[in-house]
A and B are shown apart, each in its own frame.
Chain A
C-alpha cells in the first residue's frame, strides 16, 4: 500500500511541473506585447519598457521560466495590478469560500442522487424509473449559469427564501447564502451520480448473493440497504473525485452569477481587468486543486475496495 501510494505521488510531480510550463506559456498567447496590452492608454515607451523589465520579458524565455519557478517556490505568486496587492495575501480567504461552495455542492448532490437512484433501481424499467431517468437527463443539456439565474428569479426574487448574492458571515449564514449556488453546481453532478449509481445498483441486484438474501426471506428494504447499496457505492467513489474537479471548473461561472467572493469570480474579474498575473496564478491554483483531488481519489479507492488493496 505504501509503495503504491508513493508511486502514485511520484507520478504527480512531473505532471505538476509540466502544468507550470503550460500555465507559464499562457502569457505568450497575448497578441502583441502583454506589457503594452495591460498599460493600454497609459502606455508610453518608457512605462512599457519598465514593465517589461519588471516582468523579465526582456530576457530569454527559459530565464523567464526560471524566474517564474523561483517566485513560485518562494511563495511569491505575483502582484495584482488591479488591487496593487500580492496575490498570496488575498488567496486564503478566497480559497476558503470556493472550498465551502464545492464541498456544499457535493453534499447536496449526494443528498439528491442517492434516494433517486435507490427508487429508480428498485422500480427498474417501471414508471418511477422512467421519470427519474428522463428528468435526470435534462440538466446535462442546460447551461449552469442559466439554471442559477432561474433559481435566483424563483427562490430569491419571487419567493424571497434565499439571499440573491454574497457569502454572509458565520457558518449558518454561509449555508443560507450558498444554498442556491451550491444547488446550481450540484444538479449536473447529481444527474451523473444518479445514473451511475442506478446502473451499479441494477448490476448488484442481479447477483446471486442478492437472490440468496431474498430467498432467506429478508425484507426487500433490508436487502436493498444492507446488501445492495453498500456494494454499489464503490464505483461512485471515483466518480465523486472526477465530478469534484468539474465542480471546481463550474464554480468560476456560478460565483460570477451569485456574486460570491471566491476564486472563480476573482478569476473572471481579473480577466476583464487584464490582470494577467492573477489569472495565471488562479489557473495554477485550480490545477493544483484538481491534481490533489485526483491523487486523493486514487489513494482512497483501495481503502474502500478490499480487492484492490496492494501488499
Chain B
C-alpha cells in the first residue's frame, strides 16, 4: 500500500509548491501590515490632528482617500486603523481557538458527562445568533477593546469545539488509537500527541475565515458605537463617523470599508490556500 502510494505520489517539487491563494493572501497581508507599521514614514499626516481648513476634501494626489469632516487624511487613518483592527482580530481568536480545540478534543475522546457538558454549552450559545450575543455581552460589559475580546471569547469557541470533537470522534476508534491504548499510553498523551495533530488542520483552515468574521464583528461594534472609542481610527468607527456626511463626502465612509474588505479577502485567500496545502500534505 505504501509503495503504491509512493509510486503514485507526484514529484517532490510539485508537492511542496505553495498554492497561489496562500501566496496572494500572504502578500496582501504583508503589504497591509507593512503599510501600517511604516505609516509614519509613508504619510506625512497625523491620524489624529484636525485641520479645519481641509474638511471633506475629495480624493486627490495630496489626499489619496480624501479627508474626513475634521480634515484628517483618510488614507493615513486607514493605515493606522489596520493596526487596531488586525490586532483585535488576531488576539480575539486565540482564546476561542485554544479553548475550543481542547474542549472539543476532551468531549470527543472522553464522551459521557464531559461530552454532555461541552455540547450543552455549545447548544446554548448556538441558540442565540452570534452577532446578537456578542452585542449583548458588550452592551452589559461596556465598550472598549478588552470587552470585545471577552465577548468574542465567550461566543466564538463553539465552532472549534464542534469541529475538533467531530474529528476526534471519527478517529478515536481507529486501529492505531486502539493500539496506543493497548500499549498503556495515558489518555492525555493519546489525545495531545496523537489525536490532536490530526484534528488540527481543519481547525487551522477554519481559523482564517474566523478571523474574517472577527474583523467584520469588530467593525460592526465600532459602527454601532459599542467598540473601540473615538478618536481611534478603527475602520467601523470611521465608517460610522463618515456616514453623517455621505451627501458631501462619500469617501470618508466608503474608504475604510474597502480596507475592511481587502483584509477580509486576504484572509479568505490565506484560508483557501492553507486548505489546498494541507490536503496535498495529507494524501
Contact = CB atoms under 8 A, between A and B. Distances in A.
Interface stretch (A48-56, A135-143, A302-310): A135-143
A287 interface: yes
A283 B268 contact: no
B257 A142 contact: yes
Chain A interface SS verdict (over half): helix
B130 interface: yes
A16 B127 contact: yes
A279 B124 contact: no
Given A18-B120, A287-B128, A290-B129, A152 B246 contact: yes
B133 interface: yes
Interface string B125-149: 1111111110111011110000000
B257 to A, nearest CB: 4
Contacts of B137: 26, 29
Given A141-B260, A142-B257, A252 B131 contact: yes
Contacts of B131: 249-250, 252-253
Contact of B264 (A29, A141, A153, A245): A141
Contacts of A145: 220, 223, 236, 239
Contacts of A103: none
A291 to B, nearest CB: 5
Nearest to B243: A149
Given A138-B261, A142-B264, A291 B127 contact: yes
A249 B265 contact: no
Nearest to B219: A143
Contacts of B124: 15, 18-19, 22
Interface string B105-134: 000000000000000100111111111110
B226 interface: yes
A91 B52 CA distance: 45
A271 interface: yes
Interface of A: 14-16, 18-19, 22-23, 26-27, 29-31, 137-138, 140-147, 149-150, 152-153, 157, 245-246, 248-250, 252-253, 256-257, 267-268, 271-272, 276, 279-280, 283, 286-287, 290-291, 294
Minimum-distance CB pairs A-B, first 6? A141-B264, A249-B129, A249-B131, A146-B257, A29-B140, A271-B139
Given A30-B142, A290-B128, 12 more contacts: A14-B120, A19-B128, A23-B136, A29-B140, A31-B142, A140-B212, A145-B236, A146-B260, A152-B246, A257-B243, A267-B135, A287-B132
7 contacts: A137-B265, A142-B257, A143-B239, A143-B257, A145-B239, A146-B223, A279-B139
